[in-house]
């Protein structure tokens, strides 16, 4: 049986319309319990910031609750087709970043939760996030449903296109200059141009200029040294012993890089290390920025970010997927990212600090992102098609696109089901968010807002 026929045969066991339904499973943790459980192992003094950021809106709550949604998705139908999934494929986890030549590319850009799992989980999470972002932006309910529908349609159509192409062509298909025309996303052009212009200035040098100062006892010859400046609670200098441990961990990181990257990094020297709070779901994890300088004093900043076990891992056996073997979590993140992206950060690697796993990557590598909650109705519909297409391309790196395309088919049955699920689950997320904000008001869980 061909992969396409095998995918089509799966419709008998899991009709595409079955993806429309969602009923909260018995024993589902309430929002406060889920947030408190996800805070375990994080730095306690930072968890109120995480809770505060999650309380900002239902979309923000979704961004910080990948584990809760995975628990719910584990009680919904899956085809059994596995691929490398992002695990947190919400609409704000797509964006621009620079390739090795400094050219901007657009793709998924957050892989903390990546695992081998059901492709449907990423697609449904993306569709739900677009509904919530649309509601926050004031888009009508019909407009939000259309965005979710078009996410699935673009995913399905792109997967079908990839299934027809020669393998090598499919692997690199939909170059970024073709993305807008491929998805008919012309209303996004202006926004993308503004994001790209901002991204080009989002560099290590710009961050260093704002966040560091010249060391007073700089050497008499050569480039003057620099160090980070405290900007609590987001950025703070760390004790010498902690900074030394992070700097020493870079030696292990070098061993995870291709050999041709080593001469590049050998021309930089470590200047300083600071702790920096990042993200929404990541707040409370250990995350450092390391300032390096070349012989001219030009900075390169690396982010050394703690890699926790994916919150999806406990949910995978429920739907017949094997939980990943225990490995270095930084390695899991890096390998997953490289499997899904067409172009990845050339300095992407991993290491351990004080026995904890970390991923290492360039910081402010001309990164830019679209705020989906600030888009108009026409724009969010275009953005939905763009992200749906990018997700299909990423999934096609880990699974035969003919198999997924065979299941998705030519008609809109899966699109309709995905949109229906997204609207229902968006309502569930709004109720979860209301529980969290009520808990904050009642003093049951501490939160620090505006940070």
Residue 197 backbone dihedrals phi, psi, to 5 degrees: -60, -40
How buried is residue 38: exposed, middle or buried, by Cβ count under 10 Å (0-12/13-18/19+)?
A: buried
pTM above 0.85, yes or no: yes
Mean pLDDT of 414-423: 98
CA angle 410, 77, 123 (to 5 degrees): 55
How buried is residue 169: exposed, middle or buried, by Cβ count under 10 Å (0-12/13-18/19+)?
A: exposed
Q: By mean pLDDT, which of 79-88, 101-110, 417-426 is the weakest?
A: 101-110
pLDDT tens digits, residue range 193-221? Answer: 999 999 999 998 999 999 999 987 655 54
CA angle 50, 53, 57 (to 5 degrees): 140
Task: For helices 141-164 and 401-408, give the axis angle rounded to 10 degrees.
Answer: 130
Cα-based torsion angle of the residue sequence 56, 54, 95, 195 in order, rounded to the nearest 10 degrees: 20
Please answer whether residues 361 and 302 qualify as being in contact, where contact means their C-beta atoms are separated by less than 8 angstroms. Answer: yes
pLDDT tens digits, residue range 336-383? Answer: 999 999 999 999 999 999 999 999 999 988 999 999 999 999 999 999
Please give the pLDDT value at position 217. 67
pLDDT tens digits, residue range 219-259? Answer: 554 566 899 999 999 999 999 999 999 999 999 999 999 99
């Amino acid at each position: 049986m061909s992969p396409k026929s095998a995918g089509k045969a799966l419709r008998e066991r899991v009709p595409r319309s079955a993806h429309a339904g969602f009923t909260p499973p018995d024993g589902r943790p309430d929002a406060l319990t889920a947030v408190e459980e996800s805070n375990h192992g994080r730095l306690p003094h930072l968890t109120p910031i995480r809770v505060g950021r999650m309380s900002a809106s239902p979309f923000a709550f979704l961004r910080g609750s990948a584990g809760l949604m995975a628990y719910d998705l584990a009680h919904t139908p899956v085809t059994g087709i596995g691929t490398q999934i992002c695990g947190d494929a919400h609409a704000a986890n797509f964006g621009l970043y620079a390739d090795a030549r400094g050219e901007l590319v657009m793709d998924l850009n957050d892989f903390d939760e990546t695992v081998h799992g059901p492709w449907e989980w990423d697609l449904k999470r993306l569709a739900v996030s677009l509904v919530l972002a649309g509601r926050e932006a004031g888009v009508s309910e019909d407009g939000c449903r259309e965005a979710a529908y078009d996410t699935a349609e673009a995913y399905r159509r792109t997967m079908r296109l990839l299934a027809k192409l020669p393998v090598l062509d499919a692997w690199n298909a939909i170059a970024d200059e073709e993305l807008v025309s491929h998805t008919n996303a012309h209303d996004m052009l202006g926004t993308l141009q503004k994001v790209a212009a901002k991204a080009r200035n989002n560099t290590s040098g710009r961050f260093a200029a704002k966040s560091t100062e010249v060391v007073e006892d700089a050497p008499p010859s050569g480039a003057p040294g620099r160090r980070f400046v405290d900007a609590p609670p987001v950025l703070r200098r760390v004790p010498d012993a902690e900074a030394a441990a992070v700097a020493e961990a870079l030696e292990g990181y070098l061993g995870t890089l291709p050999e041709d990257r080593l001469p590049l990094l050998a021309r930089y020297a470590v200047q300083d290390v600071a702790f920096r709070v990042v993200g929404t779901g990541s707040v409370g994890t250990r995350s450092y920025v390391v300032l390096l300088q070349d012989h001219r004093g030009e900075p390169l900043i690396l982010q050394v970010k703690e890699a926790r076990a994916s919150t999806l891992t406990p949910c995978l056996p429920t739907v017949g997927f094997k939980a990943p073997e225990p490995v270095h979590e930084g390695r899991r993140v890096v390998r997953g990212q490289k499997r899904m992206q067409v172009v990845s950060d050339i300095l992407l690697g991993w290491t351990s600090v004080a026995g904890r796993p970390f991923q290492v990557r360039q910081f402010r590598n001309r990164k830019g992102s679209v705020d989906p909650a600030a888009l108009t109705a026409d724009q969010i519909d275009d953005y939905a098609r763009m992200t749906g297409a990018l997700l299909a391309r990423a999934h096609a790196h880990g699974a035969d696109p003919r198999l997924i395309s065979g299941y998705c088919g030519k008609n809109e049955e899966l699109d309709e089901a995905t949109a229906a699920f997204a609207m229902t689950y968006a309502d569930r997320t709004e109720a979860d968010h209301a529980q969290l904000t009520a808990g904050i008001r009642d003093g049951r869980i501490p939160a620090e807002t505006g940070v």
